Amino acid sequence: MRVLSGIQPSGNLHIGNYFAMMKRMIQLQEDHTLFCFIVNYHALTTVVDAQYLKENTLGAAMDFMALGLDPDRCFFWAQADVPEVCELTWILSNQTSMGLLERAHSYKDKIAKGITPNAGLFNYPVLMAADILLYQAEAVPVGKDQKQHLEITRDIATRFNHHYGETFVLPEPWIDEHTAVIPGIDGQKMSKSYGNTLEIFAEEKELKKKVMRIVTDSTPLEDPKDPDKCNVFALISLFLDDKEKEELAQRYRAGGLGYGEVKKMLFARMWEYFAPYRKRRQELADNLDYVRQVLKKGADKARAEAVKTLQLVRDRVGLNY
């Protein structure tokens, strides 16, 4: 099965990225045709510093490879290295109603959070649709917040197929219900846009400081607590097996367990879990030419697939003559 997903190079990688998408993507390379890319065109909706974008594109590539992605077993590239996606975006824009984009929850949410709107942000779902349809992806692992974008992609593809004949595969969203929404340190969804993340490759002191800032309620130490309503419990559960999770939940309900103790446990678990990945990432950071070569090779592989779809689309709409 063809599976596709990507990540924005708009900031440091955090555990929400890892558990909601990256870990699953890395596992999928074992028995699926995996398309994994760094969405640096998408990042332009919010990033205006050229050097920052360059550095974070390489950083995202190092993150993926450090965490276990094998470029020889998948398609791995930077979005802007396959320009065919821009042509397909324009073609699909002419099959997309304004109303469909105006209903996008993500756009409205970002505007409500104070992000200055622009045409790129508004048209974000069309570029996302082009990313998916260009490679004829059958499945896209997403969080619940991205499910609507998959539905928009399917709407666009369905309309195109209706007008021009069967052209695009209709992708299915793959949602892991256990990690669909991972809370940030303020209790909202963990997101670089909200500044509430726990970065995987943060310095030790900085990471510990952020963990200790996780928002909790004011329940006294000696009183029972509800693990299902605790941000710290939700986060540490990502690093626990079922038995450990149940034992900690029982301690919550019994009383006598302070949130500060659980935060210290979370920090220790997180620091230990990502220790081998930190070492591998440093090795990659010391050899950036290799990272660039990996992305170039991956773009060549991805572009060979993209050209096939785009030529079919051009035939369908009458651009090839």
Which residues are the active-site residues? 110, 189, 192
Q: CB under 8 Å to 156, separation ≥6 — which residues?
A: 92, 95, 96, 100, 126, 129, 133
The beta strand positions in 31-164, using DSSP E, are 33-38, 75-78, 139-141
C-alpha distances in Å from residue 193, one per residue of 10, 12, 125, 204:
9, 11, 17, 23
Q: CB under 8 Å to 217, separation ≥6 — which residues?
A: 229, 230
Asked if 127 contacts 85 with a C-beta cutoff of 8 angstroms, the reply is yes
DSSP H helical ranges for 198-258 = 204-211, 231-236, 242-254
Q: Is 118 left (phi over 0), alpha (psi -120 to 50) or beta?
A: beta
Asked if 79 contacts 40 with a C-beta cutoff of 8 angstroms, the reply is yes
